[in-house]
């Protein structure tokens, strides 16, 4: 399924992308907050403590707008197994954090550069480049823990406050300078605002490193994992053009000092080792990100195919290049050598479906799902393949039997598709309303509910529609208060 169609995302092509920085996020959120505070909307006053800066409801609404913006402008990874892996790792870290009840949403962007960022409402994103650069699960966890710390320390809310104050101070200095003909005054005002922002960003990063290290260690990982990842970043930065380093400096300061601090704290720690599952997820991310799967397959073959992750990545690249027979042959060999691995079996089932062998695909995925019915990624894959074979009602049944992950965008998107094409129009409209609501598109959600009301409705559906409408109206009232 393609969520990007829902959010009018452009056709996926690998484009040079600007690194998402804290300053960019703050600027975007300022624009979003101003759009909410336009004619009839008012944002609560922000104070320096970072508490009571944004109500939880308002932060959730801005977060949904932020997430919707990301979905509409960035190639977000839709791989069920990659996303499930991120959710599971995030849950492990969250349970070890100071705020285990914090709502978090993790997502991955198809971009080969190394970057990660946190938005309001607990939305945390990272690039596939980060996933592929982190050599172990522990190194990846160190990045995620760092971004979680930004959320839990409310750095976004505090950053918005600083940015708003600096906007006013900077604008006053610039206007005063222009009015008196003093270009120096205007420049000084802009420079002072920039320097304050840099100091704030550095302070946030230091705090996120400290809290992130605590989360990492409590989750059972090693502090050495963060030191190792920063050491690798430090090596990369030495080979990075100066202009690119300066561009990223305000959001993620040069790693040398951060590495030294982390290394001092982890002298007696042992780094984590890479698990096979993590390496398979990396292989999926590599195949998903490449724009030239044939070239990537050649490079993998030239280096060596003597490990399972390399063989798996090679097979996935062949599949993406539409060399179905070769891909199926490779995946069958891999599955024979490593039986009862649901990730590998699901990949072979997907390959069968792409090659037009739907009977083999459905037979394999059905058997695999039978032994792991609560594996969310497996359930989504099963439903997706059923939809590809136009078995819509069966796909809806498979999804409705799922107990975990039923609020994810991928789940709702598949369910709405299966319901709509399976003749359950009113149920499809309600499901799609939930989908739109999750990314803050309330007008679209209400429109979907209006369409659902045109059908004869059972009592249960009436109550669901009423509840959703009340929720939407309450949020709109809060925004307009």
Q: What is the pLDDT of residues 60-73, one digit of tens each?
A: 878 888 888 889 88
| DSSP labels, 9-50 | PPPP-----PPP-HHHHHHHHHHHHHHHSSTT--PPP--TTS
Cβ contact 66:125 at 8 Å: no
**Reported confidence tier of residue 80, pLDDT bands at 50, 70, 90:** very high
**Both tokens assigned to 20:** 């998402």
Range with lowest mean pLDDT among 53-62, 343-352, 436-445? 53-62
The residue that leads in pLDDT, 261 or 439, is 439
Per this entry, what is the length of the chain? 481
**Cα distance between residue 270 and residue 272, in whole Å:** 7
**Both tokens assigned to 138:** 């522990």
pLDDT > 90? residue 290 = yes
Q: What is the 8-class DSSP label of residue 273? A: P
Tell me how crowded residue 106 is: count the other CB atoms within 10 A of its CB.
Answer: 20
**Cα distance between residue 113 and residue 83, in whole Å:** 19
**Both tokens assigned to 258:** 């951060």
Cβ contact 29:20 at 8 Å: no
pLDDT > 70? residue 43 = no
* pLDDT of the residue at 63: 84
* pLDDT of the residue at 176: 46
Encode burial over 136-160: b for 16+ CB neighbours within 10 A, e otherwise. bbbbbbbbbbbbbbbbbbbbbbbbb
Across 79-119, the runs of DSSP E, i.e. the strands, are 105-109, 116-118
Q: What is the 8-class DSSP label of residue 74? A: S
pTM comes to: 0.78
Nearest to 424 by CA among 447, 394, 403, 446: 394
The residue that leads in pLDDT, 479 or 97, is 97
**Both tokens assigned to 39:** 């004619």
Contacts 24+ apart (CB under 8 A), 340-347: 340/371, 342/368, 342/371, 342/372, 342/375, 342/378, 343/81, 343/277, 343/280, 344/280, 344/312, 346/81, 346/377, 346/378, 346/381, 347/312, 347/315, 347/316, 347/319
**Both tokens assigned to 18:** 């600007």
pLDDT > 60? residue 318 = yes
List 118's β-bridge partners, or say none.
124
Query: Mean pLDDT throughout 112-118?
Result: 89
Query: Mean pLDDT throughout 267-271?
Result: 62
List 125's β-bridge partners, or say none.
107, 117
* pLDDT of the residue at 163: 65
pLDDT > 70? residue 310 = yes
**Reported confidence tier of residue 334, pLDDT bands at 50, 70, 90:** very high
* pLDDT of the residue at 15: 39
Mean pLDDT of the chain: 78
**Reported confidence tier of residue 134, pLDDT bands at 50, 70, 90:** very high
**Cα distance between residue 437 and residue 60, in whole Å:** 11
**Reported confidence tier of residue 239, pLDDT bands at 50, 70, 90:** very low
Nearest to 288 by CA among 18, 2, 75, 68: 75
pLDDT > 90? residue 78 = yes
Cβ contact 126:147 at 8 Å: yes
* pLDDT of the residue at 189: 43
User: What are the start-end ranges of the H helices in 219-354?
Assistant: 223-237, 242-249, 255-265, 276-289, 293-303, 308-320, 324-337, 342-354
Query: Mean pLDDT throughout 110-130?
Result: 91
Element (H, E) at 431: helix 425-438
**Reported confidence tier of residue 456, pLDDT bands at 50, 70, 90:** low
- β-strands 123-127, 105-109 pairing: parallel
Range with lowest mean pLDDT among 70-74, 135-139, 144-148, 192-196? 192-196
Cβ contact 420:398 at 8 Å: no
* pLDDT of the residue at 476: 66
**Reported confidence tier of residue 236, pLDDT bands at 50, 70, 90:** low
The residue that leads in pLDDT, 457 or 429, is 429
Cβ contact 124:108 at 8 Å: no
Query: Mean pLDDT throughout 178-201?
Result: 46
| DSSP labels, 369-390 | HHH-TT-HHHHHHHHHHHHHTT
Q: What is the 8-class DSSP label of residue 76? A: B
pLDDT tens per residue across span 379-400: 999 999 999 999 999 999 999 9
**Angle in degrees, CA 123, 129, 130, rounded to 5:** 55
**Cα distance between residue 123 and residue 101, in whole Å:** 14
The residue that leads in pLDDT, 149 or 161, is 149
């Amino acid at each position: 399924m393609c969520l990007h169609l829902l959010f009018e995302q452009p056709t996926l092509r690998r484009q040079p992308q600007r690194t998402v920085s804290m300053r960019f996020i703050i600027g975007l959120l300022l624009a979003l907050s101003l759009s909410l505070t336009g004619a009839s909307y008012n944002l609560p006053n922000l104070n320096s403590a970072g508490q009571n800066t944004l109500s939880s409801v308002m932060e959730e609404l801005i977060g949904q707008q932020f997430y919707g913006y990301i979905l509409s402008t960035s190639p977000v990874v839709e791989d069920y197994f990659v996303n499930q892996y991120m959710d599971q790792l995030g849950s492990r870290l969250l349970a070890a954090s100071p705020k285990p009840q914090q709502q978090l949403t993790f997502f991955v962007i198809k971009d080969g550069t190394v970057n990660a960022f946190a938005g309001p409402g607990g939305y945390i994103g990272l690039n596939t480049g980060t996933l592929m650069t982190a050599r172990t699960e522990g190194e990846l966890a160190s990045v995620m823990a760092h971004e979680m710390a930004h959320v839990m320390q409310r750095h976004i809310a505090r950053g918005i406050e600083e940015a708003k104050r600096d906007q006013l101070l900077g604008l006053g200095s610039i206007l005063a300078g222009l009015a008196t003909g003093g270009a120096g005054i205007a420049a000084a005002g802009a420079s002072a605002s920039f320097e304050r922002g840099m100091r704030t960003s550095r302070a946030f990063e230091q705090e996120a490193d400290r809290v992130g290290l605590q989360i990492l260690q409590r989750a059972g990982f090693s502090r050495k994992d963060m030191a190792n990842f920063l050491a690798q970043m430090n090596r990369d930065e030495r080979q990075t053009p100066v202009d690119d380093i300066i561009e990223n400096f305000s959001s993620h300061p040069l790693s040398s000092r951060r590495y030294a601090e982390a290394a001092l704290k982890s002298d007696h720690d042992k780094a984590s080792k890479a698990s096979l599952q993590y390496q398979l997820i990396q292989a999926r991310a590599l195949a998903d990100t490449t724009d030239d799967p044939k070239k990537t397959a050649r490079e993998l073959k030239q280096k060596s195919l003597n490990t399972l992750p390399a063989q798996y990545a090679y097979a996935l690249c062949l599949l993406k290049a539409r060399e179905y027979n070769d891909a199926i042959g490779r995946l069958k060999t891999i599955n024979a050598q490593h039986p009862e691995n649901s990730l590998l079996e699901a990949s072979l089932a997907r390959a069968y479906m792409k090659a037009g062998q739907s009977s083999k695909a459905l037979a394999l995925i059905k058997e695999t799902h039978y032994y792991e019915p609560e594996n969310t990624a497996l359930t989504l894959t099963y439903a997706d393949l059923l939809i590809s074979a136009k078995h819509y009602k069966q796909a809806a049944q498979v999804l409705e039997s799922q107990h975990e992950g039923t609020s994810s965008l991928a789940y709702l998107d598949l369910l709405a598709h299966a319901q709509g094409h399976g003749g359950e129009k009113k149920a499809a409209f309600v499901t799609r309303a939930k989908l739109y609501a999750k990314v803050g598109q309330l007008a679209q959600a209400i429109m979907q509910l209006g369409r659902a009301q045109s059908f004869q409705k059972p009592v249960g559906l009436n109550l669901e529609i009423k509840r959703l409408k009340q929720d939407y109206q309450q949020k709109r009232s809060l925004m307009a208060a």
